[in-house]
Amino acid sequence: MVARHLADATVLHNGVQMPWFGLGVWQAKDGEEVEQAVKAALAHGYRHVDTAAVYGNETGVGKAIRESGVAREEVFVTTKVWNSDQGYDSTLRAFEESRKRLGFEYVDLYLIHWPVKGKYKDTWKALEKLYQDGVVRAIGVSNFQIHHLQDLMVDSQIVPMVNQVEYHPLLTQKELHAFCKQHNIQLEAWSPLMQGNLNQPLLTDLAHKYGKTPAQIVLRWDLQNEVVTIPKSVHENRIVENASVFDFELSAEDMEKIDGLNQNHRFGADPDNFNF
């Protein structure tokens, strides 16, 4: 299903609806900066906000949602357990801390932030418990490669509902995407705009062709590939611009051209080799 409206949602394998498009708040400062960004996004029709314990802005995200005038149940909120909190008991404690900071009874999606060796299986068991207890509506992972997913699924009760990874035209992750589709795991893109490195001649050409910006071309490509996407911005005009991608469609030929930009290039850390 290709998203045609900002409110359109994918259905996760447990039946929960997750909006295709959302606001990422990585690097947004807690307090006024993140609060204004979240309120602007909600005022302009966004219904999905992605944060994490390590971002240090869960408090501001929760406050902004409460003050926005939009009902809590209409906003899909994701947060994540940080690496130093991984393990069974420590994850349960970390979740309670996140929930307290957000000020919510429940979280819509809780993710393991990175596949910490020797810990992510116990962490996943904690997520399964949180899910069974009804305090999270969906559970998933972030930055998991195929082999991490296979390892996790060997003795897990629940298949992850989401895998949030670095995904953009220079890192198309085709094999991982195919594996996730095969197992009904929804792929989600972080850093979809390549941390601003949009100066690809092809993207410029397509922007002219469709009367859009290079960023909008990339975000549309994400959506047509059935990848949930959460571009980050704290500027209202950019938040609006990022979401203005539902009034055009890229041709199959242009989708293929963008796929052809792939260089397996990461702007973020390598999930097989990170030290934090």
Which amino acid is present at 157? Answer: Q
Residue 167 is among the residues annotated as catalytic for this protein? no
Q: Are strands 107-112 and 186-190 parallel, antiparallel or unpaired?
A: unpaired
Rounded CA-CA distance 165/111 in Å is 11
Angstrom distances, CA of residue 180 to CA of 162, 165, 254, 261? 9, 11, 24, 22
CA proximity to 164, closest of 214, 109, 88: 109
Cβ pair 81, 122 in contact under 8 A: no
Name the nearest CA neighbour of 75 among 12, 151, 9, 172. 9
CA distance 160 to 16: 13
Report the alpha-carbon distance of residue 110 to residue 145 in Å, rounded. 18
Q: What is the CA radius of gyration of the chain?
A: 18
Catalytic residue among 46, 55, 120, 167: 55
Return the active site residues. Answer: 55
